[in-house]
Amino acid sequence: MHRPSSGTAPTGVTRAGAGLRISVVGCGYLGAVHAVCLASLGHEVVGIDVDAERIGLLARGTAPFHEPGFDEVLREATGSGRVGWTTDIAAAATCSVHFLCVGTPQLDASGGADLRFVHQAFDSLRPHLSPGDLVVGKSTVPVGTAGELAERLSREACGAGLAWNPEFLREGCAVQDTVRPDRLVYGVCEGDERSARILDVVYADLLAAGVPRIVSNLETAELVKVASNAFLATKISFINAMATLCDATGADVVALSDAMARDPRIGSGSLAAGLGFGGSCLGKDIRALYHRAEELGVADSLGLLRDVDRINQGCRELAAELARQACGGDLDGRRVAVLGAAFKPGSDDVRDSPALAVAQMLHAEGAVVTVTDPKALDNARKQCPQLVYADDAEAAALDADVLLLLTDWPEYSLLDPTVLARTVRRKTVVDTRHSLDAPAWRAAGWNYVAPGRPHA
């Protein structure tokens, strides 16, 4: 690990008062949060995106997504005048540090990453770079991408450098994860100390607060991100595989996970069994990592990632099967109430949401599926217009043959089973996230079912 420098910007880097002038290209979840947090750290930031609607919202101080704490920092940064928003990439010309924060979605069935937006952003930024500027990649990319971009800058001799600085923020705690991350990783070209010094100025407050900083080559930095996500996905699928074993033996996966987590080498993070992972990152990243390993001829070593993906898909199928069993084996015409649409609590994101995936499976078998969610109803409606939506749990549960808890919003654990018992047609609840107080639900007359837990 390299020691941070004093916080003085290297010459040629444009200063704005105490901070730097920074552009953030791509204002999706990652970019918007990053831009606003950089402004809160005292830098002058311009957020740039091709999506005029998104830029319009941000410029008015309105968050384009639900993220706890983001509205406040956005309003503060907008009010301070330290962050501006535009669709005009030429605005980057006044800045000397440029973060690339565009998305890298899954390409197709091959599982590879689509780098179109990275290349488009880089190409559009390139004419506005000046000698001494630093381009910093934050997008999650296949290992080798940063090296190609660095080589291009050096071939074109524009005098700008390139570093890779992956992001580890989680949706639902994005602001906290950005201003107090577990670690900062700087990937730099061999012998490039200047880029690390510039990043030290960008993150001076974080370093002063003791956030550890690791300097590596570009390839390692790219891999830290995907390897971390692959590890988290593996932990989740591991405990879900154990849940299957619990179902086969009468063991309880909740107690198992709790006991395993007490070993500090294992830890409790990403060890909650249930419906498995979804969202825009873990699934896409394990597939892209496997695809890259195939390209590099080392796929044999990463075959476990295929199992991780398969086990995860199995969790969704098991949830559908438990609903089917609760309805006597045939879902046609049955009423299913679904609690949760977001891929995880604290978010309105429904991309690859396990909850919506299960809801769609049941709908495809003829069930009338009514979904509720505290924050994600609008996004869910857009993605799955064929489902029925209700404003709250009670409305969703009306005359239901089975109630499914699919996203572990804390408010669902507070639901009163006695009240809901009066609303439903049949009192069976499938608690795929192990959120409910099983004895209390049973005492209220419910047939309580949960993957990996003994049935009473």
Question: Taking contact as CB under 6 A, which single stretch among the options 34-42, 141-149, 273-281, 396-404 is the one that binds ligand UGA?
Answer: 273-281
Q: Is 423 an interacting residue with respect to ligand UGA (CB under 6 A)? A: no
Q: SS3 letters for the chain?
A: CCCCCCCCCCCCCCEECCEEEEEEECCCHHHHHHHHHHHHCCCEEEEECCCHHHHHHHHCCCCCCCCCCHHHHHHHHHHHCCEEEECCHHHHHHCCEEEECCCCCECCCCCCECCHHHHHHHHHHHHHCCCCCEEEECCCCCCCHHHHHHHHHHHCCCCCEEEECCCCCCCCCHHHHHHCCCCEEEEECCCCHHHHHHHHHHCHHHHHCCCCEEEEEHHHHHHHHHHHHHHHHHHHHHHHHHHHHHHHHCCCHHHHHHHHHCCCCCCCCCCCCCCCCCCCCHHHHHHHHHHHHHHCCCHHHHCHHHHHHHHHHHHHHHHHHHHHHHCCCCCCCCEEEEECCCCCCCCCCCCCCHHHHHHHHHHHCCCEEEEECCCCHHHHHHHCCCCEECCCHHHHHCCCCEEEECCCCHHHHCCCHHHHHCCCCCCEEEECCCCCCHHHHHHCCCEEECCCCCCC
Q: Which of 70, 117, 343, 441 binds ligand UGA (CB under 6 A)?
A: 343
Q: Is 133 an interacting residue with respect to ligand UGA (CB under 6 A)? A: no
Question: Taking contact as CB under 6 A, which single stretch among the options 49-57, 107-115, 279-287, 413-421 is the one that binds ligand UGA?
Answer: 279-287
What's the min distance (Å) between Cβ of 232 and ligand UGA? 5
Q: Which of 66, 344, 363, 427 binds ligand UGA (CB under 6 A)?
A: 344
Please choose, from the candidates 295, 266, 199, 165, the residue with its C-alpha nearest in 3D space to the C-alpha of residue 7. 199
Residue whose CB is less far from ligand UGA, 133 or 171:
171
Q: Which of 5, 216, 220, 270 binds ligand UGA (CB under 6 A)?
A: 270
What's the min distance (Å) between Cβ of 268 and ligand UGA? 8
Residue 101: active-site member: no
Q: Which of 196, 281, 302, 327 binds ligand UGA (CB under 6 A)?
A: 281
Q: Is 130 an interacting residue with respect to ligand UGA (CB under 6 A)? A: no
Q: Is 271 an interacting residue with respect to ligand UGA (CB under 6 A)? A: yes
What's the min distance (Å) between Cβ of 399 and ligand UGA? 29
Residue whose CB is less far from ligand UGA, 41 or 253:
253
Size of the site for ligand UGA (CB under 6 A): 21
Q: Is 277 an interacting residue with respect to ligand UGA (CB under 6 A)? A: yes
Residue whose CB is less far from ligand UGA, 87 or 216:
216
What's the min distance (Å) between Cβ of 389 and ligand UGA? 20
Binding mask 137-166 for ligand UGA (x = CB under 6 A): ---x--------------------------
Q: Which of 26, 279, 417, 452 binds ligand UGA (CB under 6 A)?
A: 279
Q: Is 224 an interacting residue with respect to ligand UGA (CB under 6 A)? A: no
Token duo for residue 23: 């552009």
Residues 165-204 contacting ligand UGA, CB under 6 A: 167-171
Among 281, 315, 327, 384, the active-site one is 281
Residues that bind ligand UGA (CB under 6 A): 140, 167-171, 229, 232, 236, 270-272, 274, 276-279, 281-282, 343-344
* Catalytic residue ranges: 281
